[in-house]
């Protein structure tokens, strides 16, 4: 499966200045032209569909930690889903899905859904806009990156895009956004790799060529950009239209057009994949998760209302899409993944809603996922303060890195180069790249304790004992808001049992969390500081 | 991998008054940035004045309160029991069954205000504040709130920003949109408190260091505001107000706002705003937003030092009056610097409203108000197709083109929206939009007749380039443009065709000869990338 192809761009050097519809060469920076001809890329027919849930999804009412029901009910009684209504999943105790998510529950039972618990990042940012940027660029909380992780992946594979594109090896858009706005996630190192379409059949020929050379000014820069888009619209618009005409949909599960925007978008995606488009990544959106108020119905039961409608749309859309993909014979080629800029806080507010929070679950779906739940339920304390958050167990960048390695089949060093630093990969996907990624199914759910502390509660200091399976160990302490208080271990540690002391200097009494990370084994546990 | 950014020339010019040439390029630049498209008659008007008087006039709207939107929706299908066709619905009574019709009326009317704007910055500033204090009609779903909200934007667009922030805090549309009306002492809802600091006053720049504690404390100060649905006004209910003390972080000097019971609880809002406005960052944040709106998205170190900081000082020294800041910016040598001309990508509203105005498209008058509103609606819908639906921005942060790194304004143009823009100008050029005997369409002869020598192909082409574009085009390209008029003949062929038509304007054959050739030329001009810049 995994092989590298050389781009068969045979354009001789002399013709390069007019490669893209006569676009002058300086428009695209100063490319290393030899690189166009010699760059190897991974040949894969794998497709990823990214579903952005805009607004910050309330993870605790999506994947409900029913083993924490009593404490959770104290903190959010007015939005709490009745235990009896929550959807039980086959073989799972202590974790249920929101009652509106029957489609995704069925996917789980059919072993086509993977749930990753408590995904976030250290020192969470509670601004929609900043946190969205962090998820899109895969930056640290305090770091400003200008490129998106998908854009960097595609820049890595196709470094001189759009120079020499489209070509016989990559005749189609690299990433398609369904809609009219291209996300920052598609921003490459120098240009945006994304193309937006709202209707595959709406191809409109634009005037290109015969350009007046653009000046080296801000106005000239924008002129180059618009001309580039015009060229892409013509080149790729025809390819998309052709794929749309060749492709079709087979599932009868899609809701009526206009009722569920996400389902409408995913239907287009399935149509285009079945039409033979070689596009690797599709980006779709579902809006409205910023449920500060009226998250649940005031009169119809907390299992109904805005959040229920959102999750119902999400679940129905994913279920219909997966059904379609299977009927179209594409099941081995397509992986789906959801994300949202943050979860919501543990404690609800008085407007039947929840405010901006931190970690929340992610979903991956398709027949290539390792089905099940990765990670433990968050531990909800007996007393929750207004700004207490779900502590992170997994870094979202570990999820991205896993997809790059195990779905897009990059080498570890390449993953690091795209992600700009090393992030541990997680056992999320079946072995689709013929690599020897280890599997640790036994670790997928809670049970094995790789880390614990004693005494707990503690008054000034406590000892954290952990087991190393070899390799790099990261042991961090977070406060309830998700900020890093201390990093106790960040180094290679030999196989065996080890311990380290944690001393609470000038910390207020309360619940703190320590997070242990040893490769793909990542656990987060609470400890209580008392006076 | 390394993050790269293409470097182009920037200017070191500051806010000293511009003293250079006051010519066609400068006038058109000022008009494009302060209005929606520069129209020939306005260009000629301001060419006869000097720069200082021109800016003063643009900053002095004849009225801040245009006649309100009216019932345009009475038809066989829908009848308003209280308001007659042509009468305004903005004073109520509310009627839930008519909410959609009235919201459509409002959006249409608003678009009409932009299309028929007078020579002032008023409508561009109203849209600026809508982008700044963003709300979504689809969320608050009340046309009377919607009208009052945008009248608030219009009335305060050039006034006292601090007072503006207080008024918007109490505005019913905003109270619904960011849940202020649900914020209660029992468990504060933080939505408005966060955006008040992050988006409305302080921003998230280097100088803004408010904390999560500050969000939560401000949310407590803001408890108790509700909406009177009879007067359509916000009011304070002391019984729902958190009367405990609120203590803020070191960013605000650890200030405590003493909790107050009874009617005095409302005074805490003034204390909160005083505390926020004590931070110089507020003035800088607003000046940066104005800069991005009027000048360019990129603010480099020189622009920050030479433009933003002195503008912010003017803002503070004038007790947060907006007009003196705009005056300084629009009169500055920085504003007129050649590197800042033509470097903005037109927003969908700039593109669509500007398309109508620059091409002097005739709209139905008030005697055909149903069709008049219908045609305004068409324009608002083409803006929405290009992702700028006025009244319904995508989020409380406004449109991404004004804040999203690193794309900014390039977000407006992609493979979905650029073909749409071309289709819109093509349709307006070739077919127009018709209903019930009314029609909006570009009349290319009327456009040509605005210029001094339409009979001379070379002069007309150059005049149109200067009118539509900032950048000139190559000689080759001008020849190609001329060929639309000449059809392979000599220049005298076009002159004869034009003169023949002028001599006998009722002759349809003669008219068609010049009309089709001008259509081809104008369509081509509006299809080129140059036309997307402003």
What one-character-per-residue DSSP string does B369-380 give? HHHHHHHHHHHH
Taking only the tens place, the pLDDT of each residue in A386-437 is 889 999 999 999 999 999 999 999 999 999 999 999 998 999 999 888 644 3
Q: How many CB pairs under 8 A join A and B?
A: 202
Q: Which CATH number fits domain A451-529: 2.60.40.10, 1.10.150.120, 2.60.40.3080, 1.10.10.10?
A: 2.60.40.3080
Helix-then-strand count for chain B, H and E: 25, 6
Residue in chain A closest to B193 (alpha carbons) equals A355
Task: Tell me whether residues B423 and A225 touch, CB distance under 8 A.
Answer: no
- Rounded to two decimals, what is the model's pTM? 0.84
The answer to whether A297 faces chain B, any CB pair under 8 Å, is no
Q: Encoding tokens for residue A98? A: 């929101």
The CA distances from residue A135 to A150, A166, A191, A365, B361, in Å, are 11, 29, 19, 19, 45
Top pLDDT among B109 and A517 is at: B109
3-state DSSP assignment of residue A302: coil
CA nearest neighbour of B517 among B476, B468, B475, B464: B464
Helix-then-strand count for chain A, H and E: 10, 23
From its phi and psi, is residue A350 left (phi > 0), alpha (psi between -120 and 50) or beta? Answer: alpha
Backbone angles phi, psi at B353, to 5 degrees: -65, -40
Q: What does each of the 534 residues of chain B score in pLDDT, given as a tens digit?
A: 333 344 566 788 899 999 999 999 999 999 999 999 999 999 999 999 999 999 999 999 999 999 999 999 998 788 999 999 999 999 989 999 999 999 999 999 999 999 999 999 999 999 999 999 999 999 999 999 999 999 999 999 999 999 999 999 999 999 999 999 999 998 888 999 999 999 999 999 889 999 999 999 999 999 999 999 999 999 999 999 999 999 999 999 999 999 999 999 999 999 999 999 999 999 999 999 999 999 999 999 999 999 999 999 999 999 999 999 999 999 999 999 999 999 999 999 999 999 999 999 999 999 999 999 999 999 999 999 999 999 999 999 999 999 998 899 999 999 999 999 999 999 999 999 999 999 999 999 999 999 999 999 999 999 999 999 999 999 999 999 999 999 888 888 999 999 999 999 999 999 999 999 999 999 999 999 999 999
Task: Tell me whether residues B191 and A293 touch, CB distance under 8 A.
Answer: yes
By Cβ distance, the residue of B338, B387, B423 closest to A181 is B387
Q: How many CB atoms lie within 10 A of CB B415?
A: 26
Task: Tell me whether residues B407 and A192 touch, CB distance under 8 A.
Answer: yes
Set of chain A residues whose Cβ sits within 8 Å of the Cβ of B385: 180
Residue in chain B closest to A26 (alpha carbons) equals B6
Task: Tell me whether residues A207 and B528 touch, CB distance under 8 A.
Answer: yes
The answer to whether A27 faces chain B, any CB pair under 8 Å, is no
Does ipTM exceed 0.90?
yes
The residues near A286 (Cβ < 8 Å, ≥ 6 apart) are A51, A52, A53, A54, A261, A262, A310, A313, A314, A317
CA nearest neighbour of A338 among A309, A374, A314: A314
Q: How many CB atoms lie within 10 A of CB B475?
A: 9
The residues near B489 (Cβ < 8 Å, ≥ 6 apart) are none
Residue in chain B closest to A199 (alpha carbons) equals B416
Q: What is the pLDDT of residue B400?
A: 95
Taking only the tens place, the pLDDT of each residue in A432-460 is 886 443 333 333 444 467 888 999 899 98
Task: Tell me whether residues A386 and B216 touch, CB distance under 8 A.
Answer: yes
Task: Tell me whether residues A230 and B529 touch, CB distance under 8 A.
Answer: yes
Residue B226 is inside which H or E element, if any? strand B225-228
Residues 320..359 of A with a Cβ closer than 8 Å to B: which?
Answer: 347-351, 353, 355-356
Task: Tell me whether residues A181 and B414 touch, CB distance under 8 A.
Answer: yes
What one-character-per-residue DSSP string does B134-151 give? ---HHHH--HHHHHHHHH
CA nearest neighbour of A450 among A393, A402, A505: A393
Domain boundaries, given as residue ranges, for chain B: 96-281, 348-439, 445-532
Residue A523 is inside which H or E element, if any? strand A521-529
Give CA angle at A86 (A81, A90), nearest 5°: 155
> What torsion, rounded to 10 degrees, do the Cα atoms B267, B272, B273, B278 define?
130
The two beta strands, A96-97 and A63-64, are antiparallel
Set of chain B residues whose Cβ sits within 8 Å of the Cβ of A180: 385-387, 414, 416-417, 420
Set of chain A residues whose Cβ sits within 8 Å of the Cβ of B183: 350-351
Q: What is the pLDDT of residue A523?
A: 86
Set of chain A residues whose Cβ sits within 8 Å of the Cβ of B1: 147, 152, 155-156, 189, 417-418, 420
> What torsion, rounded to 10 degrees, do the Cα atoms B525, B530, B531, B533 define?
-170
CA nearest neighbour of A511 among A491, A495, A528: A528
Q: Encoding tokens for residue B96? A: 């839930």
- pLDDT above 90 coverage of chain A, percent: 66
- The distance of B61 to chain A (nearest Cα, Å) reads 30
Domain boundaries, given as residue ranges, for chain A: 3-443, 451-529
By Cβ distance, the residue of B4, B343, B532 closest to A190 is B4
- The distance of B404 to chain A (nearest Cα, Å) reads 8
What one-character-per-residue DSSP string does B503-518 give? H-TT-HHHHHHHHHHH
Set of chain B residues whose Cβ sits within 8 Å of the Cβ of A152: 1
- The distance of A336 to chain B (nearest Cα, Å) reads 24
Q: What is the pLDDT of residue A33?
A: 37
CA A383 to chain centre: 31
Mutate to test the interface with B, among A55, A141, A180 (most CBs of B within 10 A): A180
Q: Encoding tokens for residue B358? A: 């620059």
Tokens 């007019």 -> residue: A18
Backbone angles phi, psi at A346, to 5 degrees: -65, -45
Set of chain B residues whose Cβ sits within 8 Å of the Cβ of A29: 4, 6
Tokens 């977070």 -> residue: A478
The answer to whether A387 faces chain B, any CB pair under 8 Å, is yes
């Amino acid at each position: 499966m995994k092989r590298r192809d050389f781009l068969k761009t045979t354009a001789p050097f002399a013709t390069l200045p007019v490669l893209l519809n006569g676009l002058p060469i300086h428009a695209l920076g100063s490319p290393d032209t030899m690189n166009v001809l010699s760059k190897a890329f991974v040949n894969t027919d794998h497709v990823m569909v990214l579903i952005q849930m805009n607004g910050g999804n309330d993870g605790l009412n999506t994947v409900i930690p029913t083993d924490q029901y009593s404490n959770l009910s104290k903190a959010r009684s007015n939005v709490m889903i009745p235990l009896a209504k929550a959807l039980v999943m086959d073989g799972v105790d202590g974790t249920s899905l929101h009652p509106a998510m029957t489609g995704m529950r069925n996917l789980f039972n059919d072993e086509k859904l993977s749930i990753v618990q408590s995904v976030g990042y250290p020192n969470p940012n509670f601004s929609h806009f900043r946190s969205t940027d962090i998820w899109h660029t895969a930056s640290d909380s305090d770091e400003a990156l200008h490129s998106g992780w998908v854009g960097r992946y595609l820049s890595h594979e196709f470094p001189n895009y759009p120079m020499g594109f489209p070509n016989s090896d990559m005749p189609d858009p690299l990433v398609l956004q369904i809609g009219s706005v291209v996300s920052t996630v598609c921003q490459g190192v120098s240009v945006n790799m994304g193309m937006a379409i709202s209707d595959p059949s709406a191809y409109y020929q634009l005037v290109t060529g015969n350009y007046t050379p653009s000046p080296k000014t801000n106005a000239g820069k924008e002129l180059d950009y618009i001309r580039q888009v015009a060229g892409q619209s013509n080149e790729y618009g025809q390819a998309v239209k052709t794929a749309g005409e060749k492709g079709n949909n087979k599932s009868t599960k899609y809701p009526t057009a206009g009722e569920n925007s996400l389902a409408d978008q995913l239907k287009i995606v399935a149509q285009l994949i079945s039409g033979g488009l070689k596009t690797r990544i599709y980006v779709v959106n579902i809006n409205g998760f910023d449920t500060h108020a009226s998250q649940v119905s005031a009169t119809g039961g907390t299992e109904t209302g805005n959040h229920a409608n959102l999750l119902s749309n999400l679940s129905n859309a994913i279920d219909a899409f997966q059904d379609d993909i299977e009927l179209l014979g594409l099941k081995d080629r397509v992986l789906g993944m959801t994300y949202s800029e943050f979860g919501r806080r543990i404690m609800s507010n008085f407007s039947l809603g929840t405010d901006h929070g931190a970690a929340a679950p992610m979903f991956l779906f398709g027949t290539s996922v390792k089905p099940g739940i990765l990670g433990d339920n968050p531990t909800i304390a007996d007393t929750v303060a207004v700004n207490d958050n779900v502590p992170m167990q997994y870094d979202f960048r570990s999820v991205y890195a896993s997809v790059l390695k195990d779905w897009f089949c990059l080498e570890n060093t390449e993953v690091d180069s795209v992600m700009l630093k090393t992030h541990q990969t997680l056992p999320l996907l079946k072995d689709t790249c013929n690599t020897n990624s280890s599997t640790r199914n036994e670790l997928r759910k809670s049970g094995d304790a790789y880390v614990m502390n004693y005494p707990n509660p503690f008054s000034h200091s406590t000892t954290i004992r952990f087991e190393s399976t070899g390799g790099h160990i990261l042991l961090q302490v977070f406060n309830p808001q998700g900020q890093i208080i201390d990093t106790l271990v960040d180094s290679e540690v030999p196989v065996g049992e080890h311990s380290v002391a944690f001393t609470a200097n000038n910390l207020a009494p309360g619940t703190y969390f320590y997070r242990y990370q040893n490769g793909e084994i990542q656990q987060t546990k609470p400890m209580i500081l008392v006076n | 991998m390394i993050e790269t950014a293409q470097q182009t020339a920037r200017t070191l010019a500051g806010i000293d008054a511009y003293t250079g040439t006051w010519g066609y390029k400068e006038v058109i630049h000022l008009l494009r940035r302060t209005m929606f498209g520069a129209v020939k008659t306005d260009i000629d008007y301001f060419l006869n004045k000097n720069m200082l008087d021109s800016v003063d006039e643009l900053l002095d709207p004849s009225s801040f309160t245009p006649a309100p939107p009216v019932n345009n929706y009475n038809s066989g299908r829908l009848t308003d029991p209280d308001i007659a066709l042509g009468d305004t619905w903005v004073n109520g009574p509310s009627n839930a069954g008519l909410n959609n019709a009235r919201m459509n009326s409002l959006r249409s009317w608003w678009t009409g205000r932009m299309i028929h704007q007078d020579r002032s910055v008023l409508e561009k500033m109203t849209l600026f504040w809508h982008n700044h204090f963003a709300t979504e009609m689809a969320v608050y779903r009340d046309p009377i709130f919607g009208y009052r909200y945008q009248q608030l934007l219009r009335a305060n667009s050039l006034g006292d920003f601090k007072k503006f922030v207080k008024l918007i805090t109490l505005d019913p549309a905003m109270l619904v949109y960011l849940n202020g009306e649900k914020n209660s002492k029992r468990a504060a809802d933080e939505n408005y408190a966060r955006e008040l600091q992050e988006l409305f006053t302080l921003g998230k720049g280097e100088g803004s260091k408010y904390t999560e504690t500050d969000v939560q404390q401000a949310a407590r100060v803001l408890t108790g505001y509700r909406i009177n649905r009879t007067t359509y006004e916000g009011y304070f209910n002391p019984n729902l107000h958190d009367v405990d003390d609120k203590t803020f972080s070191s960013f605000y000097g650890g200030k405590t706002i003493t909790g107050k019971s009874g009617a005095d609880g409302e005074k805490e809002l003034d204390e909160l705003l005083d505390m926020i406005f004590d931070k110089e960052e507020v003035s800088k944040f607003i000046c940066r937003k104005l800069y991005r709106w009027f000048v360019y998205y990129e603010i480099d170190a020189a622009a920050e030092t030479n433009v933003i900081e002195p503008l912010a000082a003017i803002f503070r020294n004038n007790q947060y009056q907006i007009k003196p800041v705009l005056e300084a910016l629009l009169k500055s040598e920085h504003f007129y610097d050649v590197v800042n001309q033509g470097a903005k990508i037109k927003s969908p509203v700039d593109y669509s409203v500007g398309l109508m105005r620059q091409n002097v498209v005739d709209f139905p008058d008030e005697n055909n108000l149903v069709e008049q509103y219908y045609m305004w609606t068409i324009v608002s819908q083409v803006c929405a197709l290009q992702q700028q639906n006025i009244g319904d921005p995508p989020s409380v942060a406004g449109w991404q083109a004004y804040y999203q790194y690193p794309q900014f304004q390039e977000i407006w143009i992609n493979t979905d929206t650029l073909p749409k823009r071309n289709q819109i100008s093509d349709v307006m050029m070739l077919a127009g939009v018709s209903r019930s005997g009314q029609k909006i369409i570009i009349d290319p002869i009327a456009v040509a007749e605005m210029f001094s020598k339409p009979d001379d192909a070379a002069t007309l082409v150059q005049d149109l380039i200067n009118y539509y574009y900032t950048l000139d085009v190559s000689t080759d390209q001008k020849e190609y443009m001329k060929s639309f008029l000449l059809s392979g003949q000599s220049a005298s062929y076009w002159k004869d065709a034009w003169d023949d038509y002028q001599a006998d304007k009722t002759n349809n054959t003669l008219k068609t000869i010049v009309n089709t050739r001008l259509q081809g030329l104008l369509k081509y001009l509006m299809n080129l990338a140059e036309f997307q810049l402003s």
